[in-house]
Amino acid sequence: MMMYPDARTLLHGIIGHPVGHSLSPVFQNAAFSALGMNAVYLAFDVSPADLGDALRGVCALGIRGLSVTIPHKEAVIPFLDEVDGDAQSIGAVNTVLNRDGRLIGMNTDWQGAVQALESATSLAGKKVLVIGAGGAARAVCYGVTRKGAILHVANRTPEKARALAEAFGGTWSGLESLDRLNASILVNTTSVGMAPDVDCSPVPASVLEGVEVAMDIVYRPRETRLLREARAAGCRTVDGLAMLLHQGAAQFEIWTGRMAPVDIMEEALAKAISEKESA
């Protein structure tokens, strides 16, 4: 029986600031141990001022794979040797692969969103209402339009919705009068509804009438007010755990070249979230 970690252990991690709340170590390490791999995944709290040093450290220490989270997803780009086409189109990197000392930036957030939505429905030809126009919204817009959906972006600050919609060939608006849109799919990409503000929802329940699938990227609580109202309105719902899980599974596959044990990762993630919710 091998005892890990040892001198050959492959290193992976997440950089963010703060990062102490991250659930990625829980489910990435569950995946490594399920496949019997000699690899670990750690969390590194890296301040913006230290970002360049941290990336040089990734090369110097031979860390093989990195997740990148807020606030570094855009700022990390100048420190990379290459950024792939998806990440360039989104303008953000959430995944770094150290390929023989060259750092390659990628983005799996869009895949996370698409796979989460596709677990409930197809996207081609469907009208998707994306609420919010920040970084997460960009990945969702890229993903759904790549799959042939018709995009509408609605944001509190309409000018930001406009810039995003124009980048991906969609229509845009503020958060008012969304009832008349007749969207089939609704995705909340804002933090509205996240604990402790669990009584908030980004849109009135009336917007959910006629919606086929509603997805929230907020995962704490798992059932946000938006998803509760969506369920009551007869929509199928996709919670934020699904996007987190699938973006992480895609990262695992990039770093290891192996198929991610998604069921095991999901189980570890669900357990960690329910422990946090009851804490």
Q: Which residues would be at the binding site for ligand ATR (CB under 6 A)?
A: 132-137, 155-157, 160, 189-192, 202
Nearest approach in angstroms of CB 152 to ligand ATR is 14
Query: Which one, 81 or 159, has the nearer CB to ligand ATR?
Result: 159
Tell me, yes or no, if 126 is annotated catalytic: no
Q: Distance between CA 234 and CA 208 in Å, rounded?
A: 9
Q: Distance between CA 208 and CA 9 in Å, rounded?
A: 48
Query: Which one, 13 or 132, has the nearer CB to ligand ATR?
Result: 132
Taken in order 151, 237, 131, 182, the sign of the CA dihedral is: positive
Instruction: Bin 44: left if φ > 0, else alpha if -120 < ψ < 50, else beta.
Output: beta
Nearest approach in angstroms of CB 40 to ligand ATR is 27
CB 94 within 8 A of CB 58: no
Q: Distance between CA 73 and CA 16 in Å, rounded?
A: 9
Nearest approach in angstroms of CB 66 to ligand ATR is 18
Nearest approach in angstroms of CB 194 to ligand ATR is 9
Nearest approach in angstroms of CB 133 to ligand ATR is 4
Query: Which one, 156 or 228, has the nearer CB to ligand ATR?
Result: 156
CB 14 within 8 A of CB 251: no
Query: Which one, 69 or 122, has the nearer CB to ligand ATR?
Result: 69
Q: Distance between CA 218 and CA 227 in Å, rounded?
A: 10
Of the residues 73, 126, 127, 147, only one is catalytic, namely: 73
Query: Which one, 80 or 90, has the nearer CB to ligand ATR?
Result: 90
C-beta nearest to ligand ATR: residue:
134
User: Where does residue 206 rank: exposed (0-12), middle (13-18), buried (19+ CB within 10 A)?
Assistant: exposed
Could you give the strand order of the β-sheet that contains 65-68, starting from the edge strand earlier in sequence? 39-45, 10-16, 65-68, 95-99, 102-106, 82-83
Residues with active-site annotation: 73
